[in-house]
Amino acid sequence: MVSKYSLFAVVAVVASYLVGNGALTPPWYLKFGYIGTFIEVFLLQFAVRAFYSVLLKHRLSPLRHLPGPKDNHFLMGQWDSLFREPLGGPQRRWVKTIPNDGLIRFLGIFNQERLVITSAKALSEVLTTKSYDFVKPYEFSVGIGRLLGIGVLLAEGDEHKFQRKNLMPAFAFRHIKSLFPIFWSKSVEVTFAIDDEIKNTAGAPPSQAAINAGVSRDVKLDSDQAIVSVGQWFNRATLDIIGVAGMGQDFNAIADPTGELYQAYVRTFRPSREATILQILSIFIHHGIIRRLPFKHNREVNKSVKVIRDTCRDLIVKKKERLAKGLAADTDILSVALESGAFTNDQLTDQLMTFLAAGHDTTATSMIWAIYLLSQHPAMQTRLRAEIRAGLPSPDSGASITAADIERLPYLNAVCAEVLRHHSPVPLTLREANVDTTIQGVHIPKGTMLYLVAWATNRDPKLWGADVDVFDPERWLRDASGGAETNYAFLTFLHGPRSCIGEKFARGEFACLVATFVGRFEFELADPTMVDETTIPLRKGATSKPLNGLWMKTRKVEGW
């Protein structure tokens, strides 16, 4: 984007120089001096480029013969569907209704051409065999990099290979297994905190926050039931888990939600009209300008980013001081990364920012969907609770667990896998062709935008069968692959060199959180209108979850 406008400016400067020196003689009505000529030529180039990009380019594209939705607006393409529906929703519908051989073409706002990658073969090329032909779009990386830093999630090419190679020991399963006692202890801590909330508010009418979220003032509660906002508890728990297991620092968010770091993420992820406006403006205006606009949202994000970055820097300094004193290295991920000696302080800061943001919001989102789905299936909830109580120690016992204890619970693992399939916390991922390349023999021009949509692929009947939309943990007990014929049918953690480096970490903490919550509590929706998932407004962001949170009628089940 910058280079395009720079070229416009250079041509405009040359034109104004030639006009000013008499080498070019424009009509009398276009004579406005050096500045006027510069502006005229710049705007003319912009207008011609806009006309071509919006009205002609997609009609002349070599991809125009690919299948796709036909109900395009002449100017806005599929923008109406993309704006109104949840992220990944239109693509899920197209995958099921538009016959295709692995590629679906659609038009975004101002007829920007996009491809949805659908078949296992096409996905394997984009994610594995040609993974470095496709990069994260510049606008996306610049925008989200403000919060995440340019760590392993956003690095490209040789830099990504270097970072991933030197971080892999910290994320090897033999190391992750040693972190399960931390996962369990923090899961127990949040369970006790929810238990206390239930004791203090059982039978009480809903709070104003619950009413604002859609819970009826007249909701019926038993004397041992309380209305609990589960999402905020698990955001706090997962931040604490990544703090202790990832960095050796307890952020104490479960006990104290007023902490500076937790509040930084609350401010950043809070939905607002300003955030939506800025997101739309970023389509037309460079991110460097967007983030400097005098909006409250910008001020809050800038403040939050400073808190997060300063926290990460302080943790690195403390760890290095510990190692300098000859003390034994801790088992957390930061300590393992430091031992490699491969990263500078700034590089480590970016990695920690990535782990903090991506590592806690995704698992918290998965917990919300796990609780939502199990609330719709009481028999599954009861069966899972029985397995957990038979196989794991009561939180009251003070006993810890190992990775092997979790692995021995087949239904727990099946439920977790099915939640991650049915509702991937990250609905879609973007890629952009970095070079002229091919997918399944189809020529893909440099700059083509690709959509890898877990919300579509994970629910594609061609890959999973006719019962793809049914929440059915049994599919993972019948077959280790869940019944899919290819690994590429499950996109929650992606695949290949750019797959989620923290997958084993995420699966481990997710299983522990599900086990302690379901083992301890029985729960149902406080707002029965949410039974129909299509009526739930979802937050549009890196993760997708109910916009107004998830409020559950929750009670402790005695005996564990």
Over the stretch 225-269, which tens digit does the pLDDT of each residue have?
Answer: 999 999 999 999 999 999 999 999 999 999 999 999 999 999 888
User: Residue ranges per domain, the chain?
Assistant: 1-60, 149-426+492-556
Closest CA to 514 of 375, 358, 384: 384
Largest CA distance in the chain: 93
pLDDT < 50 stretches in the chain: 1-2, 29
Q: Are 312 and 322 in contact (CB under 8 A)?
A: no
Report pLDDT for 31.
54
Quote the DSSP letter at residue 282.
Answer: T
Report pLDDT for 278.
76
Q: Put the strands of the sheet holding 521-525 in their side by side order.
A: 226-229, 551-556, 521-525
Q: How far apart are CA 358 and CA 342, in angstroms?
A: 22
- Helix, strand, coil fractions of the chain, as percent rounded to 5: 60, 10, 35
Q: Would you give the distance in Å from CA 268 to the centre of its chain?
A: 14
Other CB atoms within a 10 A radius of the CB of residue 328 amount to: 8
Report pLDDT for 32.
60
Q: How far apart are CA 529 and CA 531, in angstroms?
A: 5
H-type alpha helices, 71-152: 79-84, 89-97, 120-124, 138-148
Report pLDDT for 1.
44
Global pTM reads: 0.92
Q: Cα–Cα distances in Å, from 84 out to 137, 280, 540?
A: 23, 14, 10
Using a 10 angstrom Cβ sphere, with 0-12 exposed, 13-18 middle and 19 or more buried, the burial of residue 200 is: exposed
Report pLDDT for 398.
95
Architecture of domain 149-426+492-556: Orthogonal Bundle (1.10)
Q: Would you give the distance in Å from CA 508 to the centre of its chain?
A: 18
Residue type, 313: R
